[in-house]
Structure 1
Amino acid sequence: METERLRLSPIGPHLTDALYRLHLDPGIARWYGEWTRAEAEARAAEIGRSWQRDGVGKWLAHHRQSGELLGRGGLSYQDVDGARRLEIGWAVREAHWGSGYATEIGLAGLALARELGAKEVVAFTEVHNVRSRAVMERLDFTYCHDFLHRGEPFALYAISLGD
């Protein structure tokens, strides 16, 4: 998939090295922890299975012209509030924060959700992650409530995609 500035490649085992490099970025590691190569390999395989099983998953985002690895994002199914829900997320390298790439990844994910006929998409982040919350609001998500995820307080947002 391509957007105005991005080439989005579905993550699978063949992209383990790039996924690992991405998660070495200090701005991404701050939110997701420092991954080992083995963790990146397991996660890439899991995302690849998600694409096959569910028709959704995360992409790696590269700049269309330079080829630079900028981030990742996309859709996945998550158990949220006791239900399996379609979730969207993004992570952008710290050097590119504030450049609109997270919003662009989010718009691409919402376009895919609409193509798939989804009625709703949720997004969540740590309550103090103001940058991610701002992206959710730019994408017209509505704040729902805080909840505990992995023992930490997270903010849940949702968007209705209509009938």
Structure 2
Amino acid sequence: MNVFETDRLKLRQMNVDDKENLMRIFADPIAMEYYPSTYSEEKADQWIQWNLNNYKEHGCGLWICELKDSGIFVGQCGIVPQLVEGIKEMEIGYLFVREHWGKGYATEVAIGSKSHGFEKLHFTRLISMIYKPNTPSIRVAERMGMQYEKTTDRNGRETLIYSITTEC
């Protein structure tokens, strides 16, 4: 099911057939540099199920990003629930296949996800949780209009919280 499109990409709901493509990200230690580790196929199955559950419960999750002109898988982006210091927040997150880095896709779909979250899902606040050394994700958050809010601990790692509200 298609969720929305940007100039170059279409975003659709994830399904169990996406595991092989997701493993192109999850098995790549460079693409997963800012995660605690790479992910196994079992973890990919859990990831897909988590997103399917998020679609049902929250009307959103991470969506598969494909090039509009060819259907080629480039990554995933979307809005997922996260606990930040005991409070449920809705986070814009993204992960891309390394060969598609540096083309502006993360910024393009993050901005699209922000618009979708505010206009279609009626969220009034969105965040991005970014492991402190991840400067490319900090730049994406800033490009979508988010501002640094605070630093918190997430699984023993210094994590920056960037946020934006509908008033911005």
Q: Does 1:2 align with 2:24?
A: no
Higher helix share: 1
* Correspondences of 1:6-21 after superposition (within 5 Å): 6-21=9-24
**Identity, % of aligned pairs?**
26
When residues 5 and 26 of structure 1 are mapped into structure 2, their CA distance, relative to the original with a 3 A threshold, is farther
Report SS of the residue matched to 1:28: coil
- Amino acid in structure 1 at the alignment position of 2:48: A
Q: Which moved more, 1:148-157 or 1:30-39?
A: 30-39
> Judging changes above 3 Å, is the alpha-carbon distance between structure 1 residues 14 and 95 closer, same or farther for their aligned structure 2 residues?
closer
Partner of 2:147: 142
Shift of 1:29: 2.2
Q: TM-score if structure 1 supplies the norm length?
A: 0.92
| Aligned 1:2-151 pairs, distance under 5 A | 2-32=5-35, 33-114=37-118, 115-151=120-156
Displacement over 6 Å in runs of 4+: none
Q: In the alignment, is the contact (CA less than 8 A) between 1:19 and 1:60 conserved in 2? A: no
User: What letter is aligned with 1:21?
Assistant: R
Q: Please give the alpha-carbon distance, in whole angstroms, between the structure 2 residues aligned to 1:73 and 1:121.
A: 14
Deviations 1:126-157 (A, max 9, x none): 11110000010111101011111011001110
Gaps of 5+ in 2: none
Q: Which runs of 5+ in 1 are unaligned?
A: none
Pairs aligned (count): 163
Could you say what the CA RMSD is over the residues aligned between the two structures, in angstroms? 1.6
SS for the counterpart of 2:151 is strand
Whether the 8 Å CA contact 1:51–1:57 is kept in 2: the answer is yes
